[in-house]
Amino acid sequence: MARTVVVLGGGISGLAASYHLSRAPCPPKVVLVEASERLGGWIRSVRGPNGAVFELGPRGIRPAGALGARTLLLVSELGLDSEVLPVRGDHPAAKNRFLYVGGALHALPSGLRGLFRPSPPFSKPLFWAGLRELTAPRGKDPDETVHSFAQRRLGPEVASLAMDSLCRGVFAGNSRELSVRSCFPSLFQAEQTHRSVLLGLLLGAGQSPQPDSALISQARAERWSQWSLRGGLETLPQALNAHLTSRGVHILRGQPACGLSLQADGRWKVSLGDSSLEADHIISAVPASVLGKLLPAEAAPLARALRAIAAVSVAVVNLQYRGARLPVQGFGHLVPSSEDPGVLGIVYDSVAFPEQDGSPPGLRVTVMLGGSWLHTLEARGAVLSQELLQQQAQEAAATQLGLKEPPSHCLVHLHKNCIPQYTLGHWQKLEAAMQFLASQRLPLTLAGASYEGVAVNDCIESGRQAAARVLGSVPNS
């Protein structure tokens, strides 16, 4: 087992990896290296003047499935149960999601009966798309874009309205470029195994073993759709930081790793500007493109594969309004690219988590800007000023939600390259990277949002698995 493990990156993936290393019965020496002065990466929560919580990154974590359960277990182990704010299954934020199409909000059908009713903006009840899906033949390609997959199985309307919007909502990406195999592996696998996605999801549901705890049982019994923490999701990295410090993990902040080299004895040298560290093993939880630039010349094929995993930028605009009301109650709405290339969607934060509205309370919504509009502006080298982004967001809130009065509070953050894009053939990049690591026996393990899932649950799981590999319970493959 490795004696000194350096974990690069103090986002949730690196924190989770360090956490699981530090809890081993015979833990290695762990050094966590973070470039910025703050831990948590994209998870960041700030307070407004009235005490309201504004999330600059993720705002809700899904409890479903084995990964959702493991994150809840982590929450309990960190003593945060009393801080959890659940969205229960009967709550409007759990039941209602909308699409903004043709200048109007449309509720997405929920429940079986909804499938048989006309559901604009779709021209026919979604039952017909389901029927087409059940009878469509299995695809033959090893990978396919999300758009092509959805068009083939569910028809052009579902592809260009629903899946286009979903890709924008989850990845801020383009469904015509993203890979179904890597972005939605359960859909891809369901088709491969059962020929039909619907059949596969029905027959394959509930098979993976899940941990159990009081919090997990409560989440199941109350059918939570998502949860947050009273003081914001940044409470989670803060609690991990406190735990790691108590376990003797050495945390270096404000120290970007600026180069990695392999020494004659097979150990790593991690350059940190003025100083350096030595490591028997490295867990990299920095973005793939960053690691690609740090690697030494001997690892050029790996660096090439990693640098090919690009990421897109998102502008997050948090708005709060005094005395305003939303026209509908729900989680939020998504906007397909055909409707507005710049606005990805608007999250109705106050509906899901009114406890975070502050005092006196004010309506909180978050406008996510990105997609091809932002990409084109970035590519042209245009100045993406705070004023421009705020104006775009306020216009969207006014047009799409009728919030025409100026907000009482507004925060604008442009997150550069914040969401990795699993484009067509992403699996081949991963395979090339894993093959290189295995054939060269490099003491390096990859974790983080760049590889197999961008959701917070995926990132925590990637950190857990990286730690398990280093500790020897899972092969490094």
The owner of tokens 């033949």 is: 137
The closest alpha carbon to 11, from 466, 469, 473, 422, belongs to 466
Stretch that binds ligand FAD, among 11-19, 322-330, 398-406, 425-433 (CB under 6 A): 11-19
Return the number of the residue (196 or 450) whose C-beta is nearest ligand FAD. 450
Return the number of the residue (87 or 163) whose C-beta is nearest ligand FAD. 87
Binding mask 61-100 for ligand FAD (x = CB under 6 A): x---------------------------------------
Cα(459)–Cα(13) distance, integer angstroms: 5
Footprint of ligand FAD on residues 303-322 (CB under 6 A)? 314, 316
**Alpha helices per DSSP H over 272-370:** 288-294, 300-307, 349-352
At closest approach, how far in Å is the CB of 311 from ligand FAD?
9
Count the residues of the shown chain that bind ligand FAD, applying the rule CB under 6 A: 36
- 101 binds ligand FAD per the rule CB under 6 A: no
* CA distances from residue 402 to 105, 326, 394, 405 in whole angstroms, order as listed: 11, 8, 10, 9
Return the number of the residue (48 or 463) whose C-beta is nearest ligand FAD. 463
Cα(462)–Cα(14) distance, integer angstroms: 9
Footprint of ligand FAD on residues 416-435 (CB under 6 A)? 418-419
Stretch that binds ligand FAD, among 5-13, 111-119, 188-196, 436-444 (CB under 6 A): 5-13
- 41 binds ligand FAD per the rule CB under 6 A: yes
Stretch that binds ligand FAD, among 181-189, 389-397, 455-463, 468-476 (CB under 6 A): 455-463
Number of H helices, E strands in the chain: 20, 19
Return the number of the residue (57 or 292) whose C-beta is nearest ligand FAD. 57
- 467 binds ligand FAD per the rule CB under 6 A: no
- Name the pairing type of β-strands 268-272 and 226-229: unpaired
- 273 binds ligand FAD per the rule CB under 6 A: no
Cα(296)–Cα(263) distance, integer angstroms: 11
Check if the beta carbon of residue 286 is closer than 8 Å to that of residue 379: no
User: CA Rg, the chain, in Å?
Assistant: 22
Check if the beta carbon of residue 259 is closer than 8 Å to that of residue 87: no
Cα(356)–Cα(345) distance, integer angstroms: 20
- Name the pairing type of β-strands 4-8 and 281-284: parallel
Stretch that binds ligand FAD, among 132-140, 198-206, 320-328, 449-457 (CB under 6 A): 449-457
At closest approach, how far in Å is the CB of 200 from ligand FAD?
23
Looking at this protein, which amino acid is placed at residue 332? G
What are all long-range contacts of 157-161, with beta carbons under 8 Å and residues at least 24 apart? 157/122, 157/123, 157/129, 158/122, 158/126, 158/129, 160/336, 160/338, 161/99, 161/101, 161/121, 161/122, 161/336, 161/338
- 13 binds ligand FAD per the rule CB under 6 A: yes
At closest approach, how far in Å is the CB of 243 from ligand FAD?
16
Binding mask 379-418 for ligand FAD (x = CB under 6 A): ------------------------------------x--x
Q: Which residues bind ligand FAD (CB under 6 A)?
A: 8-14, 33-36, 41-43, 57-61, 256-257, 285-287, 290, 314, 316, 415, 418-419, 448-449, 454-456, 459
